Amino acid sequence: MYDRIKGFRDFYPGEMSARRAAIDVLEDTAREYGFREIGTPALERAEMWTDKSGDDIVDELYAFEDQSGRHVTLTPELTPTVARMVVAKQQALSKPIKWVSTRPFWRYEQVQQGRYREFYQTNVDIFGSAEPEADAEILAWAADALTGLGLTGDHFEFRISHRDILGGVLESYETEVDTEAAIRAVDKSDKLSRAEYHDLLIDAGLTAEQAAEFGDLIAGGDLDEVEAFANTERVTAAVENLRNVLDAAEDFGAREYCTISLETARGLDYYTGVVFECFDSAGEVSRAIFGGGRYDDLIERFGGQPTPAVGVAPGHATLSLLCQRAGVWPEESVTTDYYVLQIGDTRSEAARIVHELRDRGHVVETDIAGRSFGAQLDYADSINAETVVIVGEQDLANDEVTIKDMASGDQTQLPVDEFPGDRERPTFEDFA
Rounded average pLDDT per 10-residue block, the chain, 432 residues: 95 96 98 98 94 83 96 95 96 96 96 91 97 98 98 96 91 87 86 89 91 91 92 94 98 97 81 94 88 94 94 96 96 96 96 97 97 98 98 96 97 96 95 90
Question: What is the distance of C-alpha 150 from the center of its chain?
Answer: 15
Distance in angstroms between the alpha carbons of the first and the last residue of the chain: 51
Q: Is there a contact between 137 and 126 (Cβ–Cβ < 8 Å)?
A: yes
Task: Look at residue 175 in the predicted model and tell me its pLDDT.
Answer: 84
Q: So what's the pLDDT on residue 65? A: 95
Q: What's the CA gap between 42 and 3, in Å, rounded?
A: 23
422 CA to centre of own chain:
40
**Binding-site sequence positions for L-histidine:** 77-79, 107, 121, 125, 266, 270-271
Cα Dmax for the chain: 96
Q: Is there a contact between 312 and 290 (Cβ–Cβ < 8 Å)? A: yes
pTM summary value: 0.91
The DSSP symbol for 103 reads: E
**Alpha carbon distance 425, 349 (integer Å):** 19
Q: Which residues of 389-406 are buried (b: 16+ CB within 10 A; e: fewer)?
A: bbbbeebbeeebbbbbbb
Q: What is the rounded distance in angstroms from the CA atom of residue 310 to the CA atom of residue 242? A: 14
Res 184: pLDDT: 86
The CATH T-level fold of domain 11-324 is BirA Bifunctional Protein; domain 2 (3.30.930)
Residues of the chain with CATH 3.40.50.800: 334-428
Task: Tell me the C-alpha to C-alpha distance, in Å, between residue 139 and each of 39, 70, 312.
Answer: 23, 39, 8
For the domain spanning 334-428, the CATH number is: 3.40.50.800
Closest CA relative to residue 318, chosen from 120, 75, 139: 120
CB 428 within 8 A of CB 411: yes
> According to CATH, where is 3.30.930.10 located in the chain?
11-324
List alpha helices for 54-131, DSSP H. 79-88
Q: Are strands 290-294 and 411-415 parallel, antiparallel or unpaired?
A: unpaired
The distance of Cα 139 from the centroid of its chain, to the nearest Å, equals 13
Confidence at residue 267, expressed as pLDDT on a 0 to 100 scale:
65
Rounded to an integer, what is the distance from CA 83 to the centroid of its chain? 19
Known binding residues are 77-79, 107, 121, 125, 266, 270-271
Run of H or E residues at 415: strand 411-415
3-state class (DSSP) for residue 321: helix
At residue 187, the pLDDT reads 84
- Between the alpha carbon of residue 376 and those of residues 114, 242, 337, 398, 413, the distances in Å are 39, 62, 15, 22, 19
